[in-house]
């Protein structure tokens, strides 16, 4: 079984627009920005000892696409993400990022974890600029401004709220201008209001930075609110591959998406 499902429609990156603006239709040319990378999996399988987590998985994520991966816990979502990030090797098959096989960590692919994972003994600015490099303070400060925390640079992480900490973690991922951002349920622990704020922020920085995004989530509504394409993972393979063509600002009220939400929920 080959799940190679080439996504034909690549959406323009400009998300802002008056309500009702016609959304670019499927089949439109991929905008080449040079800031995002395509990610491909060819016949990837992964097993831990006897237990097979992913089985003969093939898929292509085009540059600039925002893909949400939903599925039950234990369906291999996190493993998939860790393999793309280079934190985990494949058992068989191949993962390529930007047509290069993934053999280890890459500096243009950044990971947002479930927890913020900030160093409590470094101030916010120093956490954001953890990778250092020349002129890191200025880059880190700019990334903090982008997530709306420019004035908290000299605070300790301990005094920030949960949402603010996750925003610092996002800034840390953005500093190096990544070409792909991999997110492992980064908003799962936040309250509904903060989560919705984080969604807006994520959509905004995505326009600015233009990275390819993969979001692991168990929240179907979150996937529907953010992604261009939803992959439903089940029993180690892609059970459904659904393009979402509804403009972002119309999604909340879209009956088609509400129907889709129910369909996905029954399938997962």
- Contacts with another protein by CB under 8 A lie at 85, 87, 105, 107, 110-111, 113, 115, 117, 119-123, 130-131, 155-161, 164, 172
Q: Which of 191, 131, 120 is nearest to 159 (CA)?
A: 120
Helix (H) or strand (E) holding 207: helix 192-209
Judged by CB, which is closer to another protein: 214, or 225?
Answer: 214
Judged by CB, which is closer to another protein: 10, or 166?
Answer: 166
Q: Mind giving me the DSSP string for 43-107? A: EEEEEETTEEEEEEEEEEE-TT-EEEEE--TTSSHHHHHHHHHTSS--SEEEEEETTEE--S--T
Q: Mind giving me the DSSP string for 155-193? A: S-GGGS-HHHHHHHHHHHHHTT--SEEEEESTTTTS-HH
Minimum CB distance to another protein, residue 115 (Å): 6
Judged by CB, which is closer to another protein: 123, or 251?
Answer: 123
d(CA 68, CA 244): 11
Judged by CB, which is closer to another protein: 127, or 217?
Answer: 127
d(CA 63, CA 229): 13
Minimum CB distance to another protein, residue 219 (Å): 22
Minimum CB distance to another protein, residue 164 (Å): 7
Judged by CB, which is closer to another protein: 110, or 229?
Answer: 110
Judged by CB, which is closer to another protein: 109, or 264?
Answer: 109
Judged by CB, which is closer to another protein: 160, or 170?
Answer: 160
Q: CA 110, 115, 117, 118 torsion: positive or negative? A: positive
Minimum CB distance to another protein, residue 187 (Å): 17
Minimum CB distance to another protein, residue 117 (Å): 4
Judged by CB, which is closer to another protein: 48, or 235?
Answer: 48
Q: Mind giving me the DSSP string for 92-131? A: EEEEEETTEE--S--TTEEEE-SS----TTS-HHHHHTTT
Minimum CB distance to another protein, residue 136 (Å): 11
Helix (H) or strand (E) holding 262: helix 255-267
d(CA 173, CA 113): 10
Minimum CB distance to another protein, residue 110 (Å): 8
**Owner of token pair 């996504």:** 7
Q: Which of 77, 111, 66 is nearest to 251 (CA)?
A: 66
Minimum CB distance to another protein, residue 113 (Å): 7
């Amino acid at each position: 079984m080959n799940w190679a499902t080439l996504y034909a429609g690549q959406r323009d990156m400009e998300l802002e627009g008056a309500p009702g603006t016609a959304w670019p239709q499927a089949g439109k040319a991929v905008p080449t920005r040079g800031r995002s990378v395509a990610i491909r999996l060819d016949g990837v399988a992964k097993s831990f000892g006897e237990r097979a987590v992913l089985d003969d998985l093939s898929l292509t994520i085009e540059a600039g696409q925002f893909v949400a991966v939903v599925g039950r816990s234990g369906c291999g979502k996190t493993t998939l993400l860790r393999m793309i990030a280079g934190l985990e090797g494949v058992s068989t098959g191949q993962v390529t990022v930007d047509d290069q096989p993934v053999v280890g960590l890459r500096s243009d692919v950044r990971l947002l974890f479930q927890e913020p994972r900030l160093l409590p003994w470094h101030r916010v600015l120093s956490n954001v600029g953890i990778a250092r490099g020349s002129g890191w303070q200025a880059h880190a400060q700019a990334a903090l401004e982008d997530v709306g925390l420019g004035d908290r640079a000299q605070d300790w992480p301990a005094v920030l709220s949960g949402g603010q900490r996750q925003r610092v973690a996002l800034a840390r991922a953005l500093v190096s201008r990544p070409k792909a951002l991999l997110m492992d349920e980064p908003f799962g622990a936040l309250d509904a209001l903060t989560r919705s704020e984080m969604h807006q922020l994520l959509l905004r920085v995505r326009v600015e930075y233009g990275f390819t995004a993969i979001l692991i989530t168990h929240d179907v509504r979150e996937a529907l609110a953010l992604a261009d394409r939803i992959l439903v993972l089940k029993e180690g393979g892609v059970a459904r591959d659904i393009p979402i063509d509804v403009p972002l600002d119309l999604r909340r009220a879209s009956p088609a998406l509400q129907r889709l939400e129910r369909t996905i929920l029954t399938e997962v």
